[in-house]
Structure 1
Amino acid sequence: MIGLVDCNNFYVSCERAFRPDLEGRPVGVLSNNDGCVIARSAEIKQLGVEMGTPAFQLKHRIRQRGLVLLSSNYELYGDMSSRVQAVLEEFAPQVEPYSIDEMFVRFDGFETAALTEHCRKLRQQVRQYTSIPVSIGVAPTRTLSKLANRAAKKIPGYGGVCVLDRDSTATKGLLQRIELGDIWGVGRRLVERLHTMGIRSAWDLRSTDPKRIRRKFSVTLERTVLELQGTPCIEMNDFDEPRQRIMTSRSFGKLTGNYREIQEAIRQHGQRGAEKLRQQGSLARAVLVFLKTNPHRQDLPQHSPHAIVELERPTDDSREILHAASYVLDRIFLERFAYMKAGVMLLDLIDADRQQLSLLDTPQSDADRQRSKRLMATMDELNQKMGRGTLRLGMPTDGAAWHLRCANRTPRWSTRWEELPKVRVL
C-alpha cells in the first residue's frame, strides 16, 4: 500500500507553528515581491479571496476584516518540510518527497486493517512534533492514494485519514463522485475528449479498457487507468527525468535601469542555474539572457530584449556560464529603460557522462575539465554544508533593486540563530 501525506495549507501552517495568534484568523501568504496570494488559510478562503489575488486589492480588507498578509518565507517552509519528513521516516520504511508539502510513504508489509489506526497515530505525531496538520490517503497505487488524500481532506467523516482497498464498495462510491479533472495527470483538454466518449467520472475511466485508451490517447493515460484499477505502474523516478532546459529568473523588488544592479541579478541567476545543471548531471551548450520592463507601466518606455550565445564547449562550470551571460547582457542592455525582471536560461542540455569530445581536444583540455569539475564540486559541497551562497562568484550589493521585497516576512525561526524567538523574563 502507498500513502500520500499532504500538509494542509502548508505555508500558512508553518507560520502558525510559531505564531499561535494567527490561529482562527484569515491569513494569506504572498508571492515573491509581495505580489499576489499564493497560499490561503481556510478562514481567508471563506471570505472569497481567490488564489492569485493581487495584494493591493486586499488592502481595504486588512482594515475591515482583519486579514493578515505575510511575505513568503521559503527558508522556513523548506526546513519545516524536512522536519515533517523526519517524522514520517519513523513510521514507514520508505518516504518519497513529491513536493514541499506532499510526500509518498510506502506501507509495504502492513496489514490493510491496521493501516487506518497506524495513519491516525502518524497524523497525530506529525501534529505534535511540528504543529503541521496533515491529511493522509492510502491505496494500492499512487493515483488512488492521491484521490484518497483528497477525500481525507474534503470529507469530514474520514477524520483526515482515508484508506482505500482495490475493489471495495467505498472505493467505487468515491470514484463515482470524483470528476475527471480531479484525477492526477488528467488535464482540461483530456477531460473534453473523454467526455465525447461518455467518460465523465473517475469510475467511468477506471471501467474503460486500458488498451482502448492507449490507442486513442497515450500510454500515459493507459497507466492512469491501470492505476485506478489498482495496478501500480507509476514510480516516482518517472517524474525525475532531466530537464531539457533550466530557467532561473525573478522579478526585481523595484524597477531599475542600473547596469551594475542588473549584472548582479544575472550573476546570481547564472550561478543558481549552473548549480541545478550539476545536480541533474547535465552540461549546457548555450546560454540565453533576457530582460523585461513592466508591461503594465504604459507611462514608461518598453523594452524586453533577449539573446543567446553558444558556448565554446558544453559545460557546467559557473565561471564559463557567467562569462557568457555577462557577454549577452552587454549586448542587450540599454540605459534608458527601467527593467522589472531578468533571467538566465541554459539551453541544449546533454548528459555529462555522454559528452562527445572534440578531435582537437588535448591532454591539457582534459586536465582543465578535471580541475573545473573538482572546483565546482568543492563549491557545491561547501554551499550544501554551510548554506546556499556561502561561496559564490561576486558579492551582491546590499539594498540593490533586484533584491526581493519582503516587507511582511516573519523571522526564519528554525534556521537562523539571530532570528530565534526571544523571551522576556520579568
Structure 2
Amino acid sequence: MFALVDCKNFYVSVERLFQPALRGRPVVVLSSNDGCVVSRSDEAKSLGIKMSQPFFQLRDLVRSHGLVMCSSNFALYADLSQRVATVLREMAPRCEQYSVDECFLALDGVMGDLDALGREIRRRVLKEVGIPVGVGIAPTKTLSKLASFASKKWPKTEGVVDLRDPARQRRLLSLPVMTVDEVWGIGRRHTERLNAMGITHAIQLAEFDRKTLRRLFNVNVERTARELAGERCFDLEDSPVPKQMIACTRSFGERVYELALLEQAVATYGCRASEKLRGQHQLCRMVQVFVSTGTFTEGDARYSRSASVPMPYPSADSRDIVEAAQAGLRAIYVSGPAYAKAGVILMDFVGDGHFTDDLFAPAPRPNSHRVMSVMDEINRRQGRNTLRLARTLSDTGWSMKRERMSKRFTTSWSELPIAY
C-alpha cells in the first residue's frame, strides 16, 4: 500500500506561511526571470489564470483584482520541502521524495486505520511545518497519484482519499475529470496517440488490452495500465537513482555581451553542478558548456554554440570543472551577440574511487576530496556560497531577474524573521 503526500499550491503556500497578509488573496509565483506562472493560489485559479501563463498578461489583474505576483525563492522552497519530508519519514517505514512538493510513503505493514493515518499526516505537517497537504492512499503508486489529485480537487474529501476498495478505484477512474492526460507517466505525445485510439479516460486505459499497449507504445505504458487496474508494478525508491547527466543552466536577467560576465556565470554554474555531482558520489570525465542568444532573436544576431571538454582525469572538484568549462567557453565565444543564456553540463560519470587512472595523464590535485568536503560542509551549515571560488564573487549583473522575491527566511542569517 502506498500514500502520496502532495503539498497544496506549494510555492504559494510557502509564501503565505511567512507573509500571512497574502492569505485569501490571489497569489501567483513566477518562474526564473519572472517569466511565467509556476504556482497559483485557489483565488488566482478562480480568476482564470493558467499555469505557464506569461507575466505580461497578468499586469491588469494586479490593478483590477489585487493579484500578488512573487518571484521564485528556490532556496526557501527547498528548505521547506526538506522539512515536510523529515516529518513524513517519521510516520512511515519508507519514504521516496519524488519532487519538491510530493513524497511517496510505503505503508506495507502499517497497522490500524490508514484513512486516520492520512488525516494525522495532514495535521502534523500543517502543525510542524505550516504547509497544507493532500493524501492519496492506494495499492499502487499510479492510483495514489490520482487519489492525491482527487483529494485536492474536491473539498468534501477533507484532503484524504482512500482507494483500497476496488469499487472506489473504479468509481474514481470513471469520473469525467479523470482524463488520460491526468494519469501519472502519460505525457502529451502519448495522450494524443491514445486519444486517436479512442482512449480518452483513465478507466479506458485501465481496461485496454495489455499486449497491444506494449506493442504500440512501450512497457511503461503497459505497466501504467496494470497499475490503474490495481496491479503493483512500480516499487518505492528509497534513494534516488544517480543521474547520468547533471546540467546547470540559467537565462540571464539582462542580455550579456562581455566575455568576463559570461565567465562569471559559467563559473557559478560549474560550481553548482559539481556540488550536485559530489552529492551522488561520482566523478565526471566530460564537461560541456553552451551559450545562446534569445529564442526570438532574428537573422544574423542569433547565435548558439556548445563545446565539450574532456577532463584530464575524472573529477568532482569545482576548480577542475570550472577550469574545463572556462576553456570551452573561450573556444565558442564571439563578440557581438546579445547572450541570453548559458549553461554547464556534466557527463560521462564514474564511481568515486572506482576507476583506473591513466598512467600518462596529469596527476589529480592533492587532497581534492578533503578540500571539497570541507567546502561543502561549511556551505551546508552557513548557507550556500558562504565559501566559493573567487571567480564567482564579482558583479552579478548576469543573474536572474527576481524583482518580487521574498526574503530567505530560513536559509540566510541576515534575513531571519524577527518577532517584536
Number of corresponding residues: 418
- Which residue matches 2:133? 134
Give the alignment partner of residue 410 of structure 1, picking from 381, 403, 406.
406
Identify the range of structure 1 (374-383 vs 56-65) with the bigger mean alpha-carbon deviation. Answer: 374-383
TM-score for both structures, normalised by structure 1: 0.89
Query: Following the alignment from structure 1 to structure 2, what is the Cα–Cα distance between the partners of residues 238 and 199?
Result: 33
RMSD value, Cα: 2.6
Taking a change above 3 Å as real, the CA distance of residues 251 and 217 of structure 1, as seen in their structure-2 partners, is closer
Equivalents in 1 of 2:355, 2:182: separation in Å? Answer: 42
Q: Give 1:221-232 correspondences, 5 Å limit.
A: 221-232=221-232
- Alignment partner, residue 390 of structure 2: 394
Contact 2:106 2:236 in 1 (8 A): no
Unaligned runs of 5+ in 2: none
Q: Which amino acid aligns with 2:367?
A: R
Matched, 1:286 2:286: yes
1:333 aligns with 2:329: no
Aligned-residue identity in percent: 43
Q: Residue by residue, what CA displacement relative to the aligned partner does 1:43-92 show, whole Å, maximum 9, x if unpaired?
A: 11111222222222322221122111111111221222122223323432
**Cα distance, 1:421–1:147 mapped onto 2, change above 3 Å:** same
- Could you tell me the TM-score, scaled by structure 2's length? 0.90
Measured after TM superposition, the shift of residue 170 of structure 1 is: 1.3
- 1:26: how far off? 0.9
What's the CA shift string for 1:14-37, capped at 9, x where partnerless?
A: 111111111111111111222222
Distance 1:87 1:288 in 2: 38
Which structure 2 residues correspond to residues 207-218 of structure 1 after superposition, within 5 A? 207-218=207-218
Task: Say whether the 8 Å CA contact 1:153–1:160 is kept in structure 2.
Answer: yes
AA of the residue aligned to 1:79: D
* Contact preservation (8 Å) 1:11, 1:29: yes
| Distance (Å, rounded) in 1 between the aligned partners of 2:269 and 2:390 | 12
Task: Give how far 1:11 is off.
Answer: 0.5
2:57 equivalent in structure 1: 57
Residues 1:337 and 1:225: Cα distance change in structure 2 (over 3 Å): closer
Q: Please state whether the residue corresponding to 1:48 is helix, strand or coil.
A: coil
* Mapping for residues 19-418 of structure 1, pairs under 5 Å: 19-111=19-111, 114-165=113-164, 167=166, 169-177=167-175, 178-195=178-195, 198-237=198-237, 240-296=240-296, 301-352=301-352, 354-358=354-358, 360=360, 365=363, 368=364, 371-397=367-393, 399-418=395-414
Structure 1 counterpart of 2:206, one-letter code: R
**Residue 397 to residue 315, structure 1, CA distance change in 2 (3 Å):** closer
Where structure 1 has 5 or more consecutive residues not aligned to the other structure, the ranges are: none
Return the letter of the residue paired with 2:160: V
Question: Residues 422 and 195 of structure 1: is their aligned pair in 2 closer, same or farther, counting only changes over 3 Å?
Answer: closer
Equivalent-residue separation in structure 2 for 1:33 and 1:415 (angstroms): 21
In 2, are the aligned partners of 1:166 and 1:230 still within 8 Å (CA)? no
